[in-house]
A and B are shown apart, each in its own frame.
Chain A
Amino acid sequence: MIKNFQLKKNITYIFLLIFLLTFFDLFKNTYLILKMNYEKRLVFNYGYCEKTSYGFVKYIKEKYNLKKNIHIHNDDKSVPYSASFYFEPKMEFSKDYLILLNYEDKKSLIDINEYNVLDKHQNCFFLKKK
């Protein structure tokens, strides 16, 4: 009797929870977190060498470990700047290096011939001034 009464009182909450779990994709999201680590999820969503190109910027940051901030230029103007993937406060900007993302040969404001290519992945470049 008491159990029935409790169930009646809580049935709305139970149904709502089931609905909310489904609406917010809890199971799919939990699976994603368990299956892919944080970095992989960021690369999956921001792109490696597409959109904001988180993967390429992070790769350059970890490989070269320069103690300066580097300017980033993205030829894809439909996405926000990627500076936040590299920038650290209290570090000055390097005048020699440049990360060029989603390079478009004819449209780009950057003349790639003025630089030496230190690293490259598809249309993403890590450049040093000649």
Chain B
Amino acid sequence: MKELLNIFVLLFLLLSISSFPISILRFKSLFNVKKIYLFDFLSINFLINTILLLFLSFTKFNFQVYLLALISCSIIFNIYQFIKYEPKYDFLKKELIFFLIITLIISIKLSANPTLSWDGLENWYFKAQNFFYGLNFFNLNETLGINYYPHLGTYLWGIFWKSSFFEYEYYGRIIYVYIFVLSIFTISDLIKDNHLIKPVFTSLIVIICYDEFLFGGYQDVLLFSFLIFTSKYLYFYLKTSDNKYLLLSFLYLNLLPWIKNEGYIFVIIAIVSLSCFINLLKKREIILFMILSILLILLKFIIFNNYLSINPTHGANLKFNYEINGFIEFLKIFLPGLIVAIFRYKIWILIIMGFVFIFRLKQVNKKNIFYKFLKINFVIYFLSLVFIYYDFLDEPRGLYWWIHTTLDRFLYSISGSFIILLVLILEQNKHYFKK
């Protein structure tokens, strides 16, 4: 019973850290936060706190002091706001209750089977344990596991593990459940229906994207969720040209390389895709976006090179076989592997159907810059997969091993970029469901 109560307490903790510091802005006219939807409010707060925690991971500062301060501020500001401004406060919204119940249900499932999956047990656990013991980034060289793997996700895992009453390891991973559910609710907010389509769609995405194996310590869930956030704010930016949204997508995107090395690929693909629209967008901001992203990647390289080690290609040697027969051999292994990986995660079936749908609508394509952006993104992702896995052709473990063990997870993360497509199609065609 106490274990279950601890899950409730952790959810309260998570909700608290997602309710601050944007609450402060409501008292100033700096930011028109009254227009912010509930789940945007939670996810932007969470983003700000994650960035601050990333800085803390390099220091010896006690993260529990930070969390305590955050919770205190959050409670004070929210109670004040509740009394002063909004008697019909967000906490009473049924969407929030629905969100909390889903998070609770999945957390209880995680609690019933708290085992770690392969990489979780062999690599990521040790990083989380390092932070659990109050050590910081600079101690990661002294622990087990692969030291060139980034640490942000495991830092979050470690601090929530430490912040639970019983200090059971799986409590730290409840934050992954929270981010996963929050990202799906945030993207579903684009649907302007509250009673039927939105909750059904949200539940469907939660069910088909939930993978018990990945919640066993893998970081792909975080990549998936952060890509959902990125895609939503990029959509707003392309729609409104408001720099606020470009900044938000920039921040979410550039946290990815600190979660997993594949994050670089997502940043580079976003840069290439945006550069295709540079004439239609504000040139200065987009160029700044690109330069800063590249600088942040270089910064991470320098930090890892100095204190841990770097291996961005994960064992591949970037020596390509240019013979046509070699490429045909590669395709014979890669394409069946790709089909198997697509069917492993059912969300891809919906995404491919979505692309077929928008490819058929020529008029919509011409008007909608975001659809064009998604299509370019999709093609670049496919070409990148071919490029990346072709490089593994001569790797000692063999191409088959790489495809068998990594491609499905890679595709799972990528799917986060394209769930927005399903939301937009549904939003545009929801009148069919109401007939």
Q: Contact at A38–B168, with CB atoms within 8 Å?
A: yes
Docked CA distance A89–B129 (Å)? 8
Main DSSP-derived SS at the B contact region: helix
Among residues 95 to 152 in chain B, which have CB atoms less than 8 Å away from a CB atom of chain A? 98, 101-102, 105-106, 108-109, 111-116, 118-119, 121-122, 125-126, 129-130, 133, 135, 139, 142-144
CB < 8 Å: which of B112, B129, B133, B200 contacts A12?
A: B200
Q: Contact at A13–B121, with CB atoms within 8 Å?
A: no
| Interface status of B166 (Cβ within 8 A of chain A) | yes
Main DSSP-derived SS at the A contact region: helix
| Interface status of B211 (Cβ within 8 A of chain A) | no
Docked CA distance A21–B101 (Å)? 9
Q: Contact at B109–A24, with CB atoms within 8 Å?
A: yes
In the complex, what residues of B have CB within 8 A of residue A87's CB?
126, 129, 143-144
Q: Contact at A45–B199, with CB atoms within 8 Å?
A: no
| Interface status of B192 (Cβ within 8 A of chain A) | no
Q: Contact at A33–B3, with CB atoms within 8 Å?
A: yes
In the complex, what residues of A have CB within 8 A of residue B111's CB?
29, 33
| Interface status of B207 (Cβ within 8 A of chain A) | yes
| Interface status of A81 (Cβ within 8 A of chain B) | yes
* Binary CB contact string for chain A from 68 to 94 against chain B (1 if under 8 A, 0 otherwise): 000000000000111110011110000
Q: Contact at B139–A25, with CB atoms within 8 Å?
A: no
Among residues 2 to 31 in chain A, which have CB atoms less than 8 Å away from a CB atom of chain B? 9-10, 12-13, 16-17, 19-21, 23-26, 28-30
| Interface status of B23 (Cβ within 8 A of chain A) | no
**Known contacts A33-B3, A34-B1; A89/B135 CB under 8 A:** yes
Residue of B nearest to A17 (CB): B101
**Known contacts A19-B203, A33-B112; A81/B121 CB under 8 A:** yes
Q: Contact at A84–B199, with CB atoms within 8 Å?
A: no
| Interface status of B195 (Cβ within 8 A of chain A) | yes
Residue of A nearest to B119 (CB): A80
**Known contacts A12-B199, A23-B207, A90-B142; A30/B108 CB under 8 A:** yes
Q: Contact at B139–A45, with CB atoms within 8 Å?
A: no
| Interface status of A102 (Cβ within 8 A of chain B) | no
| Interface status of B92 (Cβ within 8 A of chain A) | no
Q: Contact at B109–A29, with CB atoms within 8 Å?
A: yes
CB < 8 Å: which of B3, B106, B144, B210 contacts A83?
A: B144
In the complex, what residues of B have CB within 8 A of residue A83's CB?
122, 144
Docked CA distance A16–B106 (Å)? 14
Residue of A nearest to B139 (CB): A89
Q: Contact at B106–A24, with CB atoms within 8 Å?
A: yes
In the complex, what residues of A have CB within 8 A of residue B3's CB?
33, 38
Question: Interface size on A (CB < 8 Å)?
Answer: 34
| Interface status of B361 (Cβ within 8 A of chain A) | no
| Interface status of B196 (Cβ within 8 A of chain A) | yes
* Binary CB contact string for chain A from 33 to 49 against chain B (1 if under 8 A, 0 otherwise): 11000100110011000
* Binary CB contact string for chain B from 240 to 259 against chain A (1 if under 8 A, 0 otherwise): 00000000000000000000
**Known contacts A20-B203, A80-B121; A41/B196 CB under 8 A:** no
Give B369 Cβ to nearest chain A Cβ, in Å.
Answer: 33
**Known contacts A12-B196, A20-B203; A81/B143 CB under 8 A:** no
Docked CA distance A38–B4 (Å)? 11
| Interface status of B284 (Cβ within 8 A of chain A) | no
Give A49 Cβ to nearest chain B Cβ, in Å.
Answer: 16
Residue of B nearest to A26 (CB): B105
| Interface status of A32 (Cβ within 8 A of chain B) | yes
**Known contacts A13-B94, A29-B109; A81/B4 CB under 8 A:** no
CB < 8 Å: which of A13, A32, A34, A82 contacts B199?
A: A13
Docked CA distance A80–B126 (Å)? 14
Among residues 164 to 203 in chain B, which have CB atoms less than 8 Å away from a CB atom of chain A? 166, 168, 195-196, 199-200, 203
In the complex, what residues of B have CB within 8 A of residue A28's CB?
112
* Binary CB contact string for chain A from 85 to 118 against chain B (1 if under 8 A, 0 otherwise): 0011110000000000000000000000000000
| Interface status of A53 (Cβ within 8 A of chain B) | no
Q: Contact at A42–B115, with CB atoms within 8 Å?
A: yes
Give B434 Cβ to nearest chain A Cβ, in Å.
Answer: 13
Docked CA distance A66–B302 (Å)? 38
Q: Contact at A89–B200, with CB atoms within 8 Å?
A: no
| 15 A-B pairs (CB sep. < 8 Å) | A9-B195, A12-B199, A12-B200, A13-B98, A16-B203, A24-B108, A32-B112, A34-B1, A38-B3, A41-B114, A42-B115, A80-B121, A84-B122, A89-B130, A89-B135
